Structure 1
């Protein structure tokens, strides 16, 4: 099916299948794909707004047993530069977030060999008491699964206890590509895709909203990207719990995996395909953290309607040599310069302020 016919079919409410999605990714030119995605974005977001959240990414530790080949951030427990933040250090970082008007705490670390659930429960309780205006949007499915195993709990019980302590939503980190052959090559010690999905579905069952991500450009094939998108779409059909999808590119510097970085064209094609396939996920985020400000601005015409977070702090991607920074004012100007209305939001996409 050519792009024009496909566009008409999608406008009429048709859904892509895997074969058509793969054809789009591998055979359709960038601009045709972008136009299809832009039509869908405009239909889903006719208000012409582009949203963002004021947040901070606090990496509570860099000690990790997973040792993913694509990661430049992790350390062994006995490494000289291994660390674990104290509660007081974390509180100071969140206080600074609050002083900047922040509403979201994105907190992730490694799969630490000794941190059990009581460490996280006490931390989340104190964070919730001290900073009730900040949503604890933290941990990843791999971390939840690891904490449960260390603590002798089922994943469901672990997640429920974390929620009762103050965890409000779960970011989609650790998804990489939701195909186990790829995961086995790039992160053999991490949970498989079905475990990732199980944590997300349990979080949704408990009433927590989550995001979903994809890190591409490492060892996957185009069919794996398509499979990942359809697996996210199928979870969303069952639960409706994903608020947003964030595709971003593997950053090879300082990693065991190495290799070349995906091009801007590849990024935009995958972003556009994400918007087309994930017709049941409301929001697609542009990854300025990995792509930089100008590519993120271009992404707003290839399906993205959200700029993610201001990220007062980010360490994981920066460890791979990628250290783009943007202030809230810069995001506002970037969005406005592209012809959209900048709007600050909460984690769950409630509007707080237009600019």
Structure 2
């Protein structure tokens, strides 16, 4: 234990640790000491015991995609019989439902449709903003930006400028999966390299579009590659400060080409969260994914550096297609936070606290607000 004391103390106090130190902590540090240091780092950064959540809706405008990622169960190749695209009217209808249920943001996500260039996204985002000006569009990711720029034959900087002007408020961390070259080529050989993903994020940050950063664990990457993924993100954050939060999640094994050959355990996930809190001295927020690891692990994660439990997703199709079964109601998620010895609070996209639920009497109550209020996956299951 003594060999880890200095690294843990330095990181808990906000000092910078190197990737080699982070890897040693991840693989060998005693779990309790690791958790204790991560929690101390959270207390230093956040300043209190509040854990936040958000109400949002993931709206998929198409499942048509040319990238064919091996872990994805959602996409369909162009001209596939099961391919579909929603028109703007349907997207707006779903936005309206989300607003009625208290959502403050939407995540508009879709595949790399061969015909969707910058013009498509300009029209989509401006339509949402015209009808719902207060609804935050926290959407797409570097992969879509790279794709749309190539379809339209414009530079990435130009694409970012245009979609920002059309109404995009911030960029989701979608498409990161694993950024190091070997594991990325193994699971997504047609997708842009991890370095390119980061270049596009950096270009967006320069133009004033902040974002989140994500990571998918459990597709055969090594422990060192997991830490390398963190290092690659931190290097960009050193230059831009544009990542609001880090959100790791676990690969789901159903209905995709990988077929669950490797998966991350709950313990691997929890240790990664703790190391992320200690390694990311320059990223304020850390979110855990109860949707993929389950609510029990989600509750435990609040004691390993996490200050956000993500969202009540009124709709989610991509991870659900691959087998994620965890769902929650608003009251259940609030109780999960409070019974985990934290104070629940609803936040907005930029992590401002909209409502702190200091006591149970402060808790909002609306049984309509539940994850998977509406999903394409559920609709398809009912028809089957």
Look up the match of 2:353: 351
Look up the match of 1:135: 136
Look up the match of 2:331: 329
TM-score scaled to structure 2, two decimals?
0.90
Shift of 1:13: 4.2
Given that residues 178 and 193 in structure 1 are in contact (C-alpha distance below 8 angstroms), is that contact kept between their aligned partners in structure 2?
A: yes
Cα separation, partners in 2 of 1:106 and 1:12, compared to 1, 3 Å: closer
Look up the match of 1:123: 124
Shift of 1:123: 1.1
Shift of 1:276: 0.9
Please, what is the CA RMSD of the aligned residues?
1.2
Shift of 1:293: 1.5
Look up the match of 1:113: 114
1:331 & 1:151 partners in 2: Cα distance? 42
Cα separation, partners in 2 of 1:14 and 1:119, compared to 1, 3 Å: closer
Shift of 1:327: 2.2
Given that residues 217 and 263 in structure 2 are in contact (C-alpha distance below 8 angstroms), is that contact kept between their aligned partners in structure 1?
A: no
Gapped regions of structure 1 (runs ≥ 5): none
Given that residues 116 and 150 in structure 1 are in contact (C-alpha distance below 8 angstroms), is that contact kept between their aligned partners in structure 2?
A: yes
2:13 & 2:352 partners in 1: Cα distance? 29
Look up the match of 2:29: 28
Cα separation, partners in 2 of 1:13 and 1:96, compared to 1, 3 Å: closer
SS in 2 for 1:2: helix
Gapped regions of structure 2 (runs ≥ 5): 358-384
Look up the match of 2:15: 14
2:213 & 2:14 partners in 1: Cα distance? 23
1:132 & 1:47 partners in 2: Cα distance? 32
Look up the match of 1:266: 268
Look up the match of 1:294: 296
Given that residues 264 and 295 in structure 1 are in contact (C-alpha distance below 8 angstroms), is that contact kept between their aligned partners in structure 2?
A: yes
Cα separation, partners in 2 of 1:308 and 1:73, compared to 1, 3 Å: same
Given that residues 212 and 245 in structure 2 are in contact (C-alpha distance below 8 angstroms), is that contact kept between their aligned partners in structure 1?
A: yes
2:149 corresponds to 1:148: yes
Shift of 1:336: 1.0
1:264 & 1:26 partners in 2: Cα distance? 14
Deviation digits for residues 308-328 of structure 1 (CA, Å, limit 9, x no counterpart)? 121100001111111211122
Paired residues, number: 355
SS in 2 for 1:256: coil
Shift of 1:31: 2.5
TM-score scaled to structure 1, two decimals?
0.97
2:279 & 2:168 partners in 1: Cα distance? 30
Deviation digits for residues 158-215 of structure 1 (CA, Å, limit 9, x no counterpart)? 0110000000100011111110111111100001111111111111111111000000
Structure 2 counterparts to residues 229-244 of structure 1, below 5 A: 229-244=230-245
Look up the match of 2:220: 219
Shift of 1:236: 0.8
SS in 2 for 1:214: strand
Given that residues 63 and 112 in structure 1 are in contact (C-alpha distance below 8 angstroms), is that contact kept between their aligned partners in structure 2?
A: yes
Runs of 4+ with deviation above 3 angstroms: none
2:232 & 2:158 partners in 1: Cα distance? 25
1:11 & 1:93 partners in 2: Cα distance? 43
2:31 & 2:79 partners in 1: Cα distance? 47
Look up the match of 2:321: 319
Deviation digits for residues 238-295 of structure 1 (CA, Å, limit 9, x no counterpart)? 0011110001111122111121321110110111111111111000001011012121
Given that residues 215 and 249 in structure 1 are in contact (C-alpha distance below 8 angstroms), is that contact kept between their aligned partners in structure 2?
A: yes
Given that residues 30 and 268 in structure 1 are in contact (C-alpha distance below 8 angstroms), is that contact kept between their aligned partners in structure 2?
A: no
